[in-house]
Structure 1
Amino acid sequence: MGDTDTHIFPTYKRWDLTFDHAKGDTITTKEGHDYLDFMSGIGTVNMGHSHPDIVAAVEKQVQKGWHASNFFHYEEQERVASLLAEATGLDFVFYGNSGSEANEAAIKLARKATGKESVVSFTQSFHGRTYGSLAATGQSKIQEGFDPLPSGFTYAPYNEVDELAKYVDDQTAAIILEVIQGEGGVVPGERGFLKQTEALAKQHGALLIIDEVQTGMGRTGSPFSFQKYGLTPDIVTVAKGLGNGFPVSAMIGSTHLKAHFGPGSHGTTFGGNPLAMAAVEATLHVLNTPYFLEDIHEKSQQAFQLLNEELRGLDDVVDIRGDGLMIGIACKGPVAPILTNLQAKGLLALPAGEKVIRLLPPLTISQDRLMIGLKIVVEAIKESAKTTASR
């Protein structure tokens, strides 16, 4: 479709593909071409497309009704809140519709609860595109053209323990971080850095907000990635995989924050609607299936083993990093041509910045299909390396 044939703002650089339907790990275009999906709707369809249990739950709720407003009590909201509290070790939930909304709510709550303004995030972070979450995003290219942004936000270097203390003081309301920076290049936080961040927050009476929008819901092999490091956040935000692609998010906070988010302090028309809750509850039940997380761990080990064996010796490959089934392959040059080649080979993947290939296959993908896809990725990278060497 050409630019003159649409009435949609051109905010997305779209591929020359038209979606028709999807099932499991496969997306089929209107033209009838099948693609092995190693992007999962940008890390949202963690349980695979059209998961039968999740589809059935949403279909059942459709027949009952999908919106009445948050003036009503919803039993579904209470059930999901209990599951999220149990999964995170936190206490109270606010529902939104996107990761940006969840982070916006977290920033508002942190300032209200502490009475302080300053929020510290990190360079190359990504927390959303609404004004508060955009101001917390440490990437100037994403902020460009939207000045003036809300004040009070600073950006510390990620994974640099000695530098972090320069940015945190007694006027800091919160530190917000991703345990693995997703859009910033699939960069894992180092254990010492993450623990020091937590300690600095507690030392200065600041809240620790962990953005699990991309890393949560089993993506790294744990329900939430912060749990692997023994962190104790005050607030966790989650979206993307929370409803297996259904637009829904949650901000989950500790009990001492309850008094600061009372009636009228925050809200959203559609947050926590019954359709969203049906999708979330069914998704959480899949996540809690026995051996589900262990299976992710086994597939992750095999994936990293294959990639390290095949790619570590290539001059064009700088690093292979990530956790669980969130994998980044950092290259010396731009990865756009490799991603185009992957599409030609029938596989969909994403960039994370200009020079990183980001792989986010469905968590439910079979071991065989995962290996098939990874071999396609290896083949495309090696073809690119040969092309570079011949120049």
Structure 2
Amino acid sequence: MDWFELEKEYLIPFYKRQRVVFVRGEGCWLYDENGKKYLDLVAGIACVAIGHSHPHFIKRVEEQLKKLVHVSNLFYTTPQIELAMKLREISGMDKFFFCNSGTEAVECALKISRKVTGRKKFVALKGAFHGRTMGSLSVTWKEKFRKPFEPLIKPVEFVEPNNIHDLEKKVDDETACVILEPIQGEAGVYPLDEGFIKAVFEERDEHHFIVIFDEVQTGFGRTGKWFAKDHYGVKPDVIAMAKAMGSGFPIGGVGVTNEVAKKLEATEHASTFGGNPLACTASLATIEIIEKEKLVENAGKVGSYFRERLSELSEEVRGLGLMIGAKFENAFEIVRRGFDEGLVLNATSEDNLRFVPPLVIGKEEVDYAVEKLGSILRTLT
């Protein structure tokens, strides 16, 4: 069966896909329809934290599937409350709302900032990517994403990352929030400076806006801490989370402080499917595995090793934990040739590769990846 032609016939052409059909996964490895094996260095774009087909994850989700999938948020369900309790423990945030994706989490966070402050202006960073719904798209930097859908939500100001002077010029007493990714993922994996983060919170104390951390890509152990905010020693007013939260199962969430939560009321936001028993169980199972197998620590240790090995091939390697960006010319061609070598890679631009593998990856797989990547580079010279 020609799946490529069927896709053209039946699906809206929103995606530029790689020409491979994956049918199975195990740990850090994927298998295509012909049985070929690939090392997965993308993990569903930083989603599949615990690796593919983890037995405990399957067991927990299967058990919940047999009991209860969905009843809506008109009623109480135990997995939702259990997940909120666990998230308070690992994130340090106080109260939570559940949705289905990262862009929904950002949308909710933006609405919260307007409700809590009574103001309209959003401040985001140049290079930012926060999603593709109308609100999240409004605070996304790249013009090619925004322009076809204008007019978007206004007012929005964009600040140069790590430029404190630019920040001071653009935040004021009309600002509802500053939203930022502690590590800009889609821009190529660029961590923000500690001094800049500190300045954001100092400006918050002066102008009384909301600080939103978009931890959709950086959360749940990806950077070697449970959340990237922990590298900076700060507590945002709001955190948006998703991706690895369910290790591939669709779930997102928003965490807020008690100070923010007390200014919110019933009916001001909602989600039909958000926080349903199956999704929350998938998230609980993910957290259980991350804790039991010490995957936060593994991300820090193996991520450091991965960056060291990549430095043998690239003059510029960035990131924290297992969220890594590296400069490589002809990055899109490297991705294409990666499939021949049994590597699943991701390019964020013509000269940058992003590495966000499952958190279960070990040094042996890293060595395999670097050897294969080196082989690809030799064919390009």
- Asked if these proteins are the same fold (TM beyond 0.5), I'd say yes
Instruction: Say whether residues 1:231 and 2:264 are aligned partners.
Output: no
Using the alignment, how far apart are the partners of 1:382 and 1:305 within structure 2?
19
Using the alignment, how far apart are the partners of 2:63 and 2:265 within structure 1?
32
The change in CA–CA distance for 1:4 and 1:197 in structure 2 (over 3 A counts) is closer
2:376 aligned partner: 380
Q: For the Cα contact (< 8 Å) 2:101–2:252, is it kept in 1?
A: yes
1:81 to 68, 78, 84: 84
1:322 aligned partner: 319
Using the alignment, how far apart are the partners of 2:282 and 2:195 within structure 1?
36
State the one-letter code of the partner of 2:364.
D
Instruction: Say whether residues 1:32 and 2:35 are aligned partners.
Output: yes
2:340 aligned partner: 344
Post-superposition offset of 1:98: 0.3
2:363 to 345, 367, 383: 367
Q: For the Cα contact (< 8 Å) 1:81–1:93, is it kept in 2?
A: yes
Post-superposition offset of 1:4: 7.8
Q: What does 1:196-345 correspond to in 2, within 5 Å?
A: 196-289=199-292, 291-312=294-315, 319-331=316-328, 333-345=329-341
Q: For the Cα contact (< 8 Å) 1:77–1:277, is it kept in 2?
A: yes
Instruction: Say whether residues 1:357 and 2:353 are aligned partners.
Output: yes
Using the alignment, how far apart are the partners of 1:4 and 1:46 within structure 2?
28
Using the alignment, how far apart are the partners of 2:58 and 2:69 within structure 1?
14
Gaps of 5+ in 2: none
Q: For the Cα contact (< 8 Å) 1:109–1:260, is it kept in 2?
A: no
Using the alignment, how far apart are the partners of 2:117 and 2:130 within structure 1?
21
Q: For the Cα contact (< 8 Å) 2:314–2:327, is it kept in 1?
A: no
Which stretch of structure 1 is more off in the superposition, 371-380 or 166-175?
371-380
The change in CA–CA distance for 1:195 and 1:138 in structure 2 (over 3 A counts) is same
2:55 aligned partner: 52
TM-score of the pair, normalised by structure 2:
0.96
Using the alignment, how far apart are the partners of 1:9 and 1:217 within structure 2?
32
Count of aligned positions: 378
The change in CA–CA distance for 1:361 and 1:373 in structure 2 (over 3 A counts) is same
2:130 to 121, 127, 147: 127
Q: What does 1:90-105 correspond to in 2, within 5 Å?
A: 90-105=93-108
1:181 aligned partner: 184
Using the alignment, how far apart are the partners of 1:117 and 1:373 within structure 2?
47
Post-superposition offset of 1:269: 0.5
Post-superposition offset of 1:29: 1.2
Secondary structure at 2:50 match in 1: coil
Using the alignment, how far apart are the partners of 1:13 and 1:4 within structure 2?
11
Using the alignment, how far apart are the partners of 2:350 and 2:149 within structure 1?
22
Gaps of 5+ in 1: 313-318, 387-391
Which stretch of structure 1 is more off in the superposition, 77-86 or 281-290?
281-290
Secondary structure at 2:319 match in 1: strand
> Please, what is the CA RMSD of the aligned residues?
1.4
